[in-house]
Structures are given as structure tokens and as C-alpha cells.
Amino acid sequence: MNFQQLRIIRESVRQNYNLTDVANALFTSQPGVSKHIKDIEDELGVEIFIRRGKRLLGLTEPGKELVGVVDRMLQDAQNLRRIADQFQSKETGNLVIATTHTQARYILPSVIKQFRKDFPKVHLVLHQGSPQEIVQLLLEGKADIGIATESIANEPELASFACYEWQHAVIVPEGHELADLPNLTLEAIAQHPIVTYHEGFTGRANIDRRFAEADIKTDIVLSAIDADVIKTYVETGLGVGIIAEMAFNPAKDTDLKLLPTGDLFVTNTTRLALRRGRFLRSFAYRFIEHFVPELTEQFITKQLTVDQEDPVLST
């Protein structure tokens, strides 16, 4: 048994049992992949995969048990290298953050600026993606820290921590009729075309839920993952914008007006996620503390140990 065989088992699951894709992902040949699978099955004395001819269709019952162990073994092998790196140099290395555009654009700049000041020799990599892509990067070990509002709290292999709460806001061009209303309502908003986030991003599900609960139909004429894009089209008069309140900058968005929404929309919670069992360098914990001071290394490790629901923290 060797690490390449273990990688092939893990990658076979990730690539939906397509051996050509497995070979491409691991920079090897398809016959080599098939041979490694046969060798490890012969060594263990069980079949790991369900087959139809030469095709893999899924995992056998022993395979379902084995794949979790394989994943932990490969993660522990990565942890060995991280532990060695930690003691060789505590202030150099790479830190990979996976997050959404909203967090990267409006929340993280000040955090990253302070972190770079404290750890100038650490190379930061910022991956922007959908919440689902962030989860996948964490599960595959391609990111150290994930930050998003959706999805990451629902994955059992991730430990997630509440960071801060925020709400959606309504934006309109200067002089828009909604700005003259003494009390903004969902009904009033829905009388206009709406420009907001794409499904799965930045609390969009909560926006849809509020209108659905009120039995109000909406005309969403444009959706985007980027608040700056939404603001641009609201400025052109395409529709009323619904964005994360943090994305509005009065000093820069001078052609737009932010309307108070009160309790029209529910509160959203941004969370930080870590892969369970993954060793984090000390500077990764310092980054987290810069982001949410209450999330200390001691607090995080304790929560991971007791494996309980964390309290909501606020910044």
C-alpha cells in the first residue's frame, strides 16, 4: 500500500468514478490508475468499487468504510508536513483563504492589511468562489480557511464559527419614488423590477424567502454575484437594488440612495469554516483573530474537541 494508491481511491470518488478524469487529475495514465486500484484491492482482500465491466459505478460497503480512513490518512500526511514547517519557521509559508466576492471586497481588506503588517513573509492566496466551491476547496485541502454566509455550516466535515451578522439593504437612484415613502414595504419594492444577487450568493435565499412568506411575486430582472455590478445597473435605472448593507459606500456611491429597511429582511450570519482534523499553522490562527478577535486558537481548538455548536459572535 502506498500514498499514490490512496490518492487514486480518494480522487476516484471526487471525479465521480471516471478513471480518465482521475488519471488527468493525478498526472498519470488510466491503465496505471486501474492497476493501482487492483493492487490495493488484492492486498486488502476486498473490492472497493462497484464495477460494470471496466467502469466504476460507486463504492462497495467495504469501500464506503475505507474511503473515510483513506481521506484521514492523506490529511494526516499533509499535517506532518505542516507541523514540520511550523517548527522550521513560524513566520513564513502560505495561507489560502477561500471566500465570496462580498467578503473579499468589503470585509477582508482591512484584515489582510493588518495581517500582512504582522506577517510580511507569509504568502496569502485569496480564492473567490461560490459557497459551494468554498466548501469543496476546504474538503479537498486546497484552502485553509473558508468564509461565507451560505453552505459551510451544513457540511459535517467542516467546523464552522459564527463571525458577524449583517442585513440586506435597498438601493435606488437619487430621486426614485421609493425614497419618498415614509415606510418602505415589501409590496412597494415588488412593484418595481429588482436587481440583486445570484441564487446561492450573499443571502439570496433569505431575500426570496421573505417575499415568498408574504406571498408577493417579484420581477428579478438581473442577478449577479458582485454588488458593484448590481449598483451599476441600479444607477442606469434598470431596477431597485437589494444588496448587502456593507456593500454600500456613501462616499463612493453618490448617485445612489440607501433606504432604511427596518425588519423587512432577516439577519444573515457570516461564518468561518475549517476542515476538521487539518493542522493549521500559528499564523492562520492569527489571521482568524484579526478577523474575529473572539475566535482565539484556544477557543477554536476547544470547540473542535467538544464538537458542539458555537455561540454567535459579533465583531
Question: pTM for the complete prediction?
Answer: 0.73
Q: pLDDT tens digit string along 38-92?
A: 888 888 888 999 988 888 999 999 889 888 888 888 777 777 777 777 666 667 8
**What's the Cα-to-Cα distance from 132 to each of 87, 170, 202, rounded to whole Å?**
33, 26, 12
Maximum C-alpha span of the chain: 75
| Structural domains of the chain in order of their starting residue, each with its CATH number | 3-85 (1.10.10.10), 92-163+270-306 (3.40.190.10), 168-259 (3.40.190.10)
C-alpha grid cell, residue 315: 465583531
Extract the runs of DSSP E, i.e. beta strands, from 63-107.
Answer: 93-99
Name the one residue in this structure whose C-alpha cell is 490562527. Answer: 285
The pLDDT of residue 279: 85
CA atoms within 13 A on the CB side of 69: 6
pLDDT in tens, the chain (315 residues): 788 888 888 889 888 899 899 899 888 998 888 888 988 888 888 899 998 888 899 999 988 988 888 888 877 777 777 777 766 666 788 999 999 999 999 999 999 999 999 999 999 999 999 999 999 999 988 999 999 998 898 888 899 999 999 999 999 999 999 999 999 999 999 999 999 999 988 899 999 999 999 999 999 999 999 999 999 999 999 999 999 999 999 999 999 999 988 889 999 999 999 998 888 889 999 999 999 999 999 999 888 765 544 444 433
The pLDDT of residue 87: 67
Q: pLDDT tens digit string along 28-38?
A: 998 888 888 98
* DSSP 3-state percent helix, strand, coil across the chain (nearest 5): 45, 20, 35
